[in-house]
Structure 1
Amino acid sequence: MLRTVDLGGPAWVVRPVGALAEGAPDRTAAGWEVPAVVPGCVHTDLLRAGVIPDPLQGGNEAAVQWVGLTDWEYTTRVELEEAPAQGERRHLVLDGLQTVATVTVNGAEVAATRNMHRRYRVDVTDVVAPGDNELRVRFASSARAMLDAAGDDPLPYDWAYPYNELRTMACEVGWDWGPTLVSAGIWRPVRLERWHTARAEVDVTTTTSADLARGVLVVGLDVETAPQGAHAGGLEVEVVLARPGDAAPATTWRRPVGPGRNRLELDVERPEPWWPRGYGEAALHDVAVRLVDAAGRVLQEDHRRVGFRHVAVDTTPDEHGRAFTVRVNDRPVFCKGANWIPDDVLVSRMTPARYAERVGQAVDAHMNTLRVWGGGIYEDEAFYAACDELGVLVWQDFAFACAAYPEHDEMRAEVAAEADDVVRRLAAHPSVVVWNGANECVLGWEDWGWRAQVRDRAWGEGYYREVLPAAVAAHAPGAVYVANSPVASEPGVHPQVPGDGPVHLWDPWNLFDYAHYRDEIPRFVAEFGYQAPATWPTLAEALGTVPDRPDDAALAARQKQPAGQRNLVDRLAGRFPDPAALAAGTERWHLATGLNQAHALRSGIEHFRSWWPRTAGALVWQLNDVWPALSWSLVDHGGRPKPAWYAVRRAFADRLVTIQPREAGLAVVLVNDTDEVWADLLTVRRAHVLDGEVAREAREVVVPARSVLTVRVGPGITQAGHRREELVVAETSPAGDGADGAHRAVHAFVRDDGMRWPAPAVTHTVERRGEDLLVRLEAGVAVADVQVESPGLRADAALGTLLPGERATVVLRPERPGTGGLDADPPIRVRTRNELFHA
C-alpha cells in the first residue's frame, strides 16, 4: 500500500542566499536563519519571525519589496528508519513551488522548476538513505527572473514585472486592485511517497447524455511499475461508485490495467444529476479507485467526489447576432455571479474555512456562478469542493491575463504540461463547467496596440487555439472551452461586440456613468464593475485609523488603479449634490462611494436580467479582495460585505421586481428565475417623500417559470405632480419590510442629484435576542438606502427604501458568532442616502 510521509509543518528553516536586495534590515547579530512553516512563503515566515512588518498593514508594502528581489533557500531534515524494501520506490511530491526553484536531496539536484501552477513528482529512491536526510529548495528571485527573461525587447505586459515571461501568479506583480508582493516558497503541501510494485496517477471525470439517461464515469490511470514490480498483466483497477443516499447500492467494476496510460469508460445508468443552485440538488457521487496487484493486495487507493451533468454553450445565430447561453442538463441557465480573484495575495494563507465562507457569501447573494480569473491561481481543492456542494458553476480561466505570452519551445512545453496537470486535477469537479483560454488577451491584440510591439513574434494565440483546448478535450470531455474572454463565437468578429459572445463592460466606470450599462443588450457580461472602498472597520484595521481626508497618502496607497481616486469622485456627479464637498471628508465620501457602487451594480444587473433570454449572464467584477483596498470587490479582505453586496443580493434574487425604461414608456419588469409559476398582486404607487402615497395601481400578474414579464406603468403613476419630491414604487406581495427591498423597486422622476430628499427622520428600538440584536425602524419621511451599523455586528439586510410611516426590522449578528457577548448597550447608527443631501 502506498505510504505517505508529510514533510510539511514547522520543521523547516529559511535563509537568504547571496546578496540581500536593497532595503533589507540588518540582522548581523540575530542571524538570518529563520524558522519556516510549510506550506507557506517567505513573507509569512519573515513576518512570523518579526523580520518584516505585515505587508498588508499601513504603508508596509513599499518596505518589503526587497524580499521579492532576494534569493531564498528552505531546508529541512527527514529521518528515514529503513532502506527501501525490494521493489519499493520513494518519490518526493511537491504540489506547489513559487516559482523558480532548485530542489536537492542530500546534495544531489533532483528537480529544477519554473512554474508555480504545476505539481512535481521526483523519484528519489537512489538519493535518500536510512537515517538523516537533507532536503533543500532554493528559490531564485522571480522578479529578477522575469526581467532577465524579458530582456530589452519585452512582449506587452503591465505592472511592475513581466509576469508573462514566467509561469507564476500574475497578480503578485501588482494589479489595479492589489499590491506588488513577489514572493517565494513551498506554497502547497510536500510529501514523500513510498510504494512498491506499482502506483498510478489517477484522474476522474464524467460525461452525461443531455437527457440524463446515461452517464459515463471516465477513469484515467497513468500506471508506473517498479523495476522489480509485478508483471503488467497482473495489475487490476477496482472502481467503486456510491450513489447519493445510503439506500442506493454501490456499483463496482474491475478491469485489468498495464503500464502507461489507461482509460476506462464505465457506463452508469440514470445517475442522480448534479444541478446548479436553484435548479435542483447538487448530487455528488463518491468514487473509490483502487490499484490491485496479482495477489489481490491494494497498492493504492484514491477517492473523488463527482457529479453527473451535461454542459453546453448555445451559440445559435439569431436576429441579434449569436446567443451565448450556458446550458446545464439541457436547460438554459442565467449565470448570476462574480469574478473570483485570490482571497489573499499571500495565497498559502488561504484555508478551507475561508474558502467555504467566501463561496457561502456568493451563494447568500443568490449567485450560481463564479469565474476564477486568469491572473491568479488554480485554486485549492477546498474551493472547488465548496462549489460542488453548493451548486455553484465555475468558469475557470487558464492562468493567462492581459499580456502577450511568448510561445518559444520551452514555454510551450511548460504550458502544455501545466494544462495537462491542472485539467486532470480539476476534471472530477462537476462545478467546473467552462474553461477559458485567457483573460483579455485577444482583446489586447485587437485594441491595445500590441501589434507594433509584438511584430512577427507569437503572442499566445497558439495556446488559446491549440494547446489549452487539447488538454480540455483530453481530460475534461464534459466541459466547455472558450478561447478567451471577451471573445466572439463567430470567426472574424471583434471580441468585444454586444451581439456575440461574452463581453467586458468597463466604459461606464472608466469613462462615463452607470446609466450607460443600458446602452447595450449584451449576450453575456463576463466582467463589469464599480469601485468603492473597503468597509470602515477593515480600513481601520489596515491603517490603524482612517484618515480624515480621502486623498490622504495612506488611503490613496490602497488605490491601485491609476485613475481610481479621481473616478470615485467623478462618478458621484449626477448622483449626489456637490461631489467635491463629499470628497472633502472621508466619512461622507465613504458613504457616497459605497452607495454609488451598490446602485451601479444593481442597475446593471437589473438591466441585464430584464432582457433574459437574450442576455444570459452577468458576472460582477469582483467578489473578493487580495488585501484591504479601494477596489471593485463586494466583500472586502476582512470578509465584510460592502453595501454593494446587499444590492447585488437583491438584484440577483430568484424573483426580481425592477423598473426599467422601455420604448413604450416606464415599465415594471418581473423576472422569475424559478421553476414555479409566479402568480402575484403587483402594486405600483406614486409616493411623495413627506406625504406618502399619492396614487396607486394594482393588477394580478402571472409570470411563467424562468421567464420575464414586462408591465407598462400607467399615466396616473408616471405623470408626477412634484417631480423632485415623488417616487414610483413597484412591489409584489409580500411587499417586504423595506430592509433590503427584495420585492420592491423604486424609481425617481429626475436625475438622482435633483431629488429633494428630506432630512432623515428614522426612529429605532432595539431588542436583544441571544447574540443578535433586532433593530426595529420607523420612518417619519421617505428614506433611501437604509443601513444599520454597530461595531462587530453585521446586518442581515440593507439598502431598502422606507416611505413615510413604514417600518422595517434589521437583525444585527456578530461577525464571528460565539466569540463573546454583546456590550450592555452597543451603539446603533442608522445611515441613509438622505444625509448626503444635507450638510
Structure 2
Amino acid sequence: MGFFELPLSNGWTFKDRDDHDPDAWMSVPAVPSTVQQDLIANKRLEDPYIGFNELKAQWVNEKSWIYRTDLKRPDVPTGAKVVIVFDGLDTFASVTLNGQNILTSSNMFIGHRVDVTKLLLESDGPHVLEIEFDCAQLKAQELRSKYPGHRWEGFNGDMARLAVRKAQYHWGWDWGPVIMAAGIWRDVRLEAYSVRVAGLWPQTQLEHNRKTATITATAEIDAVVSGYYTVSFCLCLRGKQIACQSLLVEVNSSKSIEAKLQINNPELWWPHGYGSQPLYDMSVSISGGPGNELHKMSKRIGIRSAEVIQQPDKHGKSFFFRINGQDIFCGGSCWIPADSLLPSIRQDRYKSWIDLMVKGGQTMVRVWGGGIYEDKAFYETCDEMGLLVWQDFMFACGNYPVWPELLESIQREVTYNICRLRHHPSIVIYVGNNEDYQVQEQAYMTYNYEDKDPQSWLKTNFPARYIYEKLLPDAVAELSPSTFYHPGSPWGDGKLTSDPTVGDMHQWNADGHERRLATYLVENLRTATDLETYIHLTQVVQAETMMFGYRGWRRQWGNDRQCGGALLWQINDCWPTISWAIVDYFQRPKPAYYTVKRVMESLAVGVRREHHDWSVVHARPPTKSKYEIWVASSRREGINATVELRFLSVMNGDNLRPPIVYDVTVTPNGTTDIVSDGVIDHIAQHQPHVLAVRLWVNGRVVSRDADWPQPLKYLDFSDRGLVVKVQNGNIPGQQRLAISVLRPVKCLVFEERDNIKLSDSALDIMPGDEQVVTVSGLSGSDLPLKYRFLGQ
C-alpha cells in the first residue's frame, strides 16, 4: 500500500475527570473543539461572550477533562505502519490506547505522531482512545511554586502562565477574557502507510539580477518497507510544469533527498500594491514503479527576496524591509487570535479577515507573541493576497523561566513550527518575543549587552535572554536561514526599548482606559448625553488619532527612511468587547479602519497646520498659523499630479481665499514636500476654516485630506446641507451613495451591518466636492443605511 489517512473528527464523548457518574459522559459535536464549546453544545455552559457570563464560566478553568472515542481496527496490509497524528492538544495531555499510555504532552504548540501499529492490529477491537487534559491553570501554579527563586515578572494575567507553553492570552489580557480552553484544538487522524513523504522543504535563492532562481527542494522519506523508490520533484505554475527531476533511491527507513531546480525569468512574488502574487506548486512524489504513486506532498511557494535593512543614517540606524530590491513601507496592524475558542475560526473567517486588511491598504500583519502560531489557512491566504507577515515566537510580556525540561519543550516547539511555516513567502521576519525586554527594563533585571556568553545569561535574573538571543536565532539559522531574525519587539541592539533611533519600538503610552477616553473627549469634542453618541465620539477620536499617526509616520518614510512602517494595535478582537481594535469581533470596521485605509493608499496627500493650544489662550483663535502640504507615494514610478488647496469657512462653506493650485511631480516610493512654510494670516476676521486639499492625477481625484481648526468642540456643525442620494449600481445588490454638502462635514460615518461592505466611511465632505461610496451586499428589501456625522 501507499498512504491512507482517516480523520478522527466524530464519535467523541467527554466528561469532567472527577465526575464518576456513569452517565456523566456528554457528546462532542466534532473535533477540533474546546471544552467550553462542547459544554455550550450540551447546555452545561452559557455563552461566555454574553454579558458577565465570562465570570460564570470560571469553574471550567479549574477542572480536568477526559475525551474518549472508539477506534476500529484499520484494514491495512501486513507491513504497514499505523500512526495517530495529533496536530494540537491543549495543553497538559495524557493519551492512552486500550489503557496503555502512548503520549504525554505539555505544549499546545507541538504536533505529535504516535506509532500504534501493534496496539491497533493485535485485535479487532473496539480500541478505546482516551485523552486526559489536566487543568493548565492549577498545573501552572504548581510549577510556579516549585521555582520560588525565579522572578515571576510581567504584564497581564497570572504570572504562572510563564511556566506553561499555552497561548498566553488564555490567562486574560487587557483586551481579552480569562478563558482557559482545553481540548483537541487541532485535527487528529489515523495514518497508515508503507512509505510516505514525511517532509518537504523548498528553499528559494533569487539571484541579484532577479533573472534566475534556484529551488533547492529537500524531501524526507519515511519507509516501513525498505527498497528502491522513484522520488520525483516537480515545479508547476498555474498548472504548467516548469521543471522536474526524478531520482531512483534506496530507502532503508528514513532518508533525506535533495534536488535543485533552476528557473529562468521567474515570476516574482510581491506584496500587494507592488506587483502580483504568483505561487508555484512545489511537489515531491514517491512511487514504486511506473503508474504506482505511493504518496505525494505539495507546497505552494513564492519566489522573492526579503531583507531587513539596518544601516547607519542621520537618524541613527535604519530598520525597514526590502522585497525584490524594492523598499517597502510596512503599514499594517497587529493580529491577535480571532477567537478565545480557537477551533471556531474556520478558513472562510481567516480569508475575510485578511481580505479586510488588504482592502484596507495594509501591507504587513504582525502575528503577536501572546497568541498562537496560526492555522495554515492564515498563512496561505497571506501568500495568496500578498500580505507580509511579521511572525513573533510565542512569548509575551514576561520573564520566562528556563529550567531544562522547559527549554527542551521550547526547542521542540520552535523546530516544529519553523518547519511548518518556513515555505511561506509572506513570512519575512521571525521575532523572539513581545515586550519581554520592556519587562526586563521595568523590573530592573540584569541585562549586560556586552556579555556574549549565553551560559552566563542563564544564571541572571533575566534568563529568558537565552531563549531570545541563543535558542531561537540558532533554530532560525539552521531551519530557515534566509529569514531575518530579530530578538524581540521592541528591541534595538541592546539600547533601551524606547529608543527611536534603532530597531523597532512600541508607542504604547496611551494607558488610562475610560479616564483617557473621557479626557480626550472633553478636551476635543462636546460631551455626549447618551450611550450611542458616546460610542460614536470615541470612535471619531480613534479614527482621528490613527489617521494623524499614520499620516505622519508615512511622511517620515520619505525622509531618508526615518520610519520603516507602523503596525497599529490592533486589527481584531478575540471576543465581542471594547478595545483598540479597528475592526470588531464580528468583522465590522470602525471609523479608524477607513481613515487608515485612506492614508495608506498608494498616493496620499496630506495637509497640516501648526498646533495652537487653546487651553493656554482661552479659546482665542490664532492671528496667523503655518501650514504644510505633502504627498506620500508607494508607486514605483514618478507621477505628474496637481494639488489643490482650499480655505473653506466652517460656518458657511465659502472659499475665504481663492484656491491655490500646485503642479507637482510626485517622487516615487517617497514623500514630496509641496509646501513647508505656508502662512495663514488675517483670514476673514479669523473665521474658523478648513484647509482642504485634493490630489488630482489624469483629471481624477485620487486622494483628499483636511485639517480642521482644533478643538472641534468650539465649532458649530448645525445646518450642514448634507444630501445623500441613493443610486442603484450596475451590479446586483450594489448601491452608490452620492454625497454632497453645502458646508463642511466632519467624519460622516455610515452604519455597519453584517455581510454589508462599504467602499469608504468616516469621511470629511467639502462643498463642491461630491464623493461616492459603494455599498455591496444589500437586498431590495433592506432599509437604507443610517449615518451620522460630528455635531449632528
Q: TM-score, normalization: structure 2? A: 0.90
Query: Which of 38, 44, 63 lines up with 1:51 in the alignment?
Result: 44
- Aligned residues of 1:214 and 1:267 also touching (Cα < 8 A): no
Structure 1 residues 671, 138: closer, same or farther in 2, change over 3 A? Answer: same
Following superposition, the deviation at residue 281 of structure 1 comes to 1.4
Per mean C-alpha deviation after superposition, the further-off stretch among 695-704 and 352-361 is 695-704
Structure 1 residues 661, 459: closer, same or farther in 2, change over 3 A? Answer: farther
Q: Give the aligned partner of residue 800 of structure 1.
A: 763
Q: Give the aligned partner of residue 498 of structure 2.
A: 496
1:103-114 to 2 correspondences below 5 Å? 103-114=95-106
- Amino acid across the alignment from 1:146: A
SS in 2 for 1:505: coil
Deviation string 1:707-753 (CA, Å, 9 cap, x unpaired) is 2100116757565335452111111126999xxx9611111344343
- Aligned residues of 1:668 and 1:713 also touching (Cα < 8 A): yes
SS in 2 for 1:644: helix
Cα distance in 2 between the residues matched to 1:250 and 1:498: 47
Structure 1 residues 90, 635: closer, same or farther in 2, change over 3 A? Answer: same
Deviation string 1:284-312 (CA, Å, 9 cap, x unpaired) is 10011113458984332101101111111
Query: Which of 388, 392, 408 lines up with 2:403 in the alignment?
Result: 408
1:287-298 to 2 correspondences below 5 Å? 287-293=282-288, 297-298=292-293
Query: Which of 483, 493, 510 lines up with 1:479 in the alignment?
Result: 483
Cα distance in 1 between the residues matched to 2:769 and 2:347: 42
Q: Give the aligned partner of residue 762 of structure 1.
A: 722
Cα distance in 1 between the residues matched to 2:280 and 2:182: 37
Structure 1 residues 805, 417: closer, same or farther in 2, change over 3 A? Answer: same
- Amino acid across the alignment from 1:630: I
- Amino acid across the alignment from 2:498: Q
- Aligned residues of 1:105 and 1:127 also touching (Cα < 8 A): yes
1:833 aligns with 2:790: yes
Q: Give the aligned partner of residue 433 of structure 2.
A: 438
- Aligned residues of 1:199 and 1:299 also touching (Cα < 8 A): no
- Amino acid across the alignment from 1:829: K
- Aligned residues of 1:724 and 1:756 also touching (Cα < 8 A): no
- Aligned residues of 1:735 and 1:744 also touching (Cα < 8 A): no
Q: Give the aligned partner of residue 273 of structure 1.
A: 268
Cα distance in 2 between the residues matched to 1:790 and 1:501: 38
Structure 1 residues 657, 123: closer, same or farther in 2, change over 3 A? Answer: same
1:726 aligns with 2:686: no
Query: Which of 698, 703, 710 lines up with 2:661 in the alignment?
Result: 698
Q: Give the aligned partner of residue 579 of structure 2.
A: 631
- Aligned residues of 1:87 and 1:197 also touching (Cα < 8 A): no
Cα distance in 2 between the residues matched to 1:296 and 1:467: 45
- Aligned residues of 2:388 and 2:427 also touching (Cα < 8 A): yes
Cα distance in 2 between the residues matched to 1:666 and 1:361: 34
Cα distance in 2 between the residues matched to 1:197 and 1:732: 62
- Amino acid across the alignment from 2:93: A
Q: Give the aligned partner of residue 738 of structure 2.
A: 776
- Aligned residues of 2:588 and 2:753 also touching (Cα < 8 A): no
Cα distance in 1 between the residues matched to 2:698 and 2:605: 11
Structure 1 residues 363, 474: closer, same or farther in 2, change over 3 A? Answer: same
Structure 1 residues 833, 403: closer, same or farther in 2, change over 3 A? Answer: same
Following superposition, the deviation at residue 706 of structure 1 comes to 1.0
Following superposition, the deviation at residue 367 of structure 1 comes to 1.0
Q: Tell me how many residue pairs correspond in the alignment.
A: 753
Deviation string 1:36-62 (CA, Å, 9 cap, x unpaired) is 411111111111111111111121111
Q: Give the aligned partner of residue 647 of structure 1.
A: 595
- Amino acid across the alignment from 2:11: A
Cα distance in 2 between the residues matched to 1:237 and 1:299: 10
Q: Give the aligned partner of residue 453 of structure 2.
A: none
Q: Give the aligned partner of residue 90 of structure 2.
A: 98
Q: Give the aligned partner of residue 165 of structure 1.
A: 163
SS in 2 for 1:80: coil
Query: Which of 741, 744, 769 lines up with 2:704 in the alignment?
Result: 744
- Amino acid across the alignment from 2:521: L
Following superposition, the deviation at residue 261 of structure 1 comes to 5.8
Q: Give the aligned partner of residue 753 of structure 1.
A: 713
- Amino acid across the alignment from 2:544: H
Cα distance in 1 between the residues matched to 2:34 and 2:203: 32
Following superposition, the deviation at residue 107 of structure 1 comes to 1.2
1:145 aligns with 2:133: no
Deviation string 1:36-95 (CA, Å, 9 cap, x unpaired) is 41111111111111111111112111111111211111111111254x533211111000
Contiguous gaps of at least 5 residues in structure 1: 21-27, 511-562
Following superposition, the deviation at residue 220 of structure 1 comes to 3.2
1:177-192 to 2 correspondences below 5 Å? 177-192=175-190
Cα distance in 1 between the residues matched to 2:525 and 2:49: 32
Cα distance in 1 between the residues matched to 2:676 and 2:645: 8
1:584-733 to 2 correspondences below 5 Å? 584-612=529-557, 613-660=561-608, 665-689=626-650, 690-695=652-657, 696-712=659-675, 717=680, 720-723=683-686, 725-733=688-696
- Aligned residues of 1:200 and 1:291 also touching (Cα < 8 A): no
- Aligned residues of 2:740 and 2:766 also touching (Cα < 8 A): no
Per mean C-alpha deviation after superposition, the further-off stretch among 187-196 and 124-133 is 124-133
Cα distance in 2 between the residues matched to 1:392 and 1:827: 34
Following superposition, the deviation at residue 204 of structure 1 comes to 3.2
- Aligned residues of 2:724 and 2:740 also touching (Cα < 8 A): yes
Deviation string 1:447-495 (CA, Å, 9 cap, x unpaired) is 344559x99445311111111122222222221111101011x3x4222
Deviation string 1:109-139 (CA, Å, 9 cap, x unpaired) is 1000011111101111111133422111110
Query: Which of 515, 520, 530 lines up with 1:571 in the alignment?
Result: 520
Following superposition, the deviation at residue 329 of structure 1 comes to 1.3
1:205-354 to 2 correspondences below 5 Å? 205-226=203-224, 229-231=225-227, 234-242=228-236, 244-246=237-239, 249-254=242-247, 256=249, 258=251, 259-260=253-254, 262=256, 264=258, 266-270=260-264, 271-293=266-288, 297-354=292-349
Q: Give the aligned partner of residue 9 of structure 1.
A: 9
Q: Give the aligned partner of residue 530 of structure 1.
A: none
Per mean C-alpha deviation after superposition, the further-off stretch among 272-281 and 31-40 is 31-40
Following superposition, the deviation at residue 762 of structure 1 comes to 1.6
- Aligned residues of 1:647 and 1:799 also touching (Cα < 8 A): yes
SS in 1 for 2:117: coil
Query: Which of 774, 777, 781 lines up with 1:822 in the alignment?
Result: 781
Cα distance in 2 between the residues matched to 1:74 and 1:63: 23
SS in 2 for 1:151: helix
Per mean C-alpha deviation after superposition, the further-off stretch among 390-399 and 760-769 is 760-769
- Aligned residues of 1:786 and 1:798 also touching (Cα < 8 A): yes
SS in 2 for 1:117: coil
Structure 1 residues 310, 810: closer, same or farther in 2, change over 3 A? Answer: closer
Following superposition, the deviation at residue 196 of structure 1 comes to 1.2
- Aligned residues of 1:224 and 1:260 also touching (Cα < 8 A): yes
Cα distance in 2 between the residues matched to 1:702 and 1:261: 59
Structure 1 residues 132, 3: closer, same or farther in 2, change over 3 A? Answer: farther
- Aligned residues of 1:75 and 1:136 also touching (Cα < 8 A): yes
Structure 1 residues 725, 478: closer, same or farther in 2, change over 3 A? Answer: same
Structure 1 residues 353, 273: closer, same or farther in 2, change over 3 A? Answer: same
- Aligned residues of 2:308 and 2:322 also touching (Cα < 8 A): yes
Deviation string 1:309-344 (CA, Å, 9 cap, x unpaired) is 111111011121100011111221110211111011
- Aligned residues of 2:303 and 2:425 also touching (Cα < 8 A): yes
- Aligned residues of 1:157 and 1:163 also touching (Cα < 8 A): no
Deviation string 1:780-800 (CA, Å, 9 cap, x unpaired) is 321111123375544321122
Contiguous gaps of at least 5 residues in structure 2: 448-457, 612-624
Cα distance in 2 between the residues matched to 1:655 and 1:430: 26
Following superposition, the deviation at residue 268 of structure 1 comes to 1.8
Following superposition, the deviation at residue 145 of structure 1 comes to 1.2
